[in-house]
Structure formats: C-alpha cells, structure tokens
Amino acid sequence: MAQTPRKEQTTPRKGSSRGRTPSGKPNPIDVHVGSRVRLRRTLLGMSQEKLGEALGLTFQQVQKYERGANRVGASRLFDLSRVLDVPVSFFFDDMNDELKAQSPALIAGMTALEEPPAHFEHDPLAKRETLELVRAYYRIADPQVRKRVYELAKALADSDS
C-alpha cells in the first residue's frame, strides 16, 4: 500500500500559537503555574515520579508542566489541586501585574472585558497561609497544648477589635 506524502506547510501557521509568546517561548503565566506545581510538590517531599503516578502521567510530562513547556488544562489543574491538596487558586498566587499582562488574550491584542467583572471577596480559607496554619495546628500532638494555641489565637484576634 503506497503512502501519500505529507504536504509540507509553506506558510506561517495562523491562529492559535497555543498560548506561547510571539517569540515562541512558553507563556510566562504557564511558567508561573508550573513553578507553583514544583513548589508545592517539593514542599510535600513528593518526587516527579510520584506526582506523575497519582495523575496517570510520566515524570517527563510532569517536568514539562513544571517548566511551562506544556500548558496545564482545566481538568489537569483540578487533578493537580486535589493531589497536591491546595485550592486551584494556589497556582495563580503571587502573580504580579506584569505577569498578568502576559495572558494570551492580552498578547493577541484583545482589550479588557467590556463590563468589569463582579468583585469577589477572597476566601481566607483558600489562602496558603491558612492551609499551612491549620496543618501546623494539627501537627501539635498534645491535645492540651493544641487547645491552648487555639485559645491564644482567639484571644489575639479579639484583642484587635
């Protein structure tokens, strides 16, 4: 059976650049998300192999996500948040305004939304600081000490009022 030769692409590809910058480098937002994946994975003492196993991926795929070479889709981001035990918002924490301006829509020249988005209060339970505080609290083995720490935190919070 004869194979038809593949037609070579002679014109530059139009349309989606798959979120890359005009120079072809990974989008800085994808790199940021990947660095947050790496940060959380290392904080948990988890290897790329273990994370890959938990997600049904190879460690090479995890490496590509962590470098920003591969973009993380919504469903994969959801799985990552569950495996790494953080809210999805964790992956976007600490993004500065310059980085936010590198979104694919803004790079493509699209302007801001016509209507400003509704203002949402940040959920303090979704913050990394809260998560770390709760984990530290529950690592206190002695229930009496844990109760005293709880009472101290309540007293300090009430003293600000």
- Average pLDDT (10-32) is 65
Most confident of 11-15, 82-86, 95-99, 116-120: 82-86
Class of domain 26-106: mainly alpha
Which one-letter DSSP state was computed for residue 124? G
Q: What is the pLDDT of residue 37?
A: 94
Residue-wise pLDDT for 39-48, tens only, equals 999 888 899 9
Query: How do the domains of the chain map onto residue ranges?
Result: 26-106, 126-157
Tell if the pTM clears 0.85, that is, is over it.
no
Q: What is the pLDDT of residue 55?
A: 96
Residue 122 has pLDDT above 80, yes or no: no
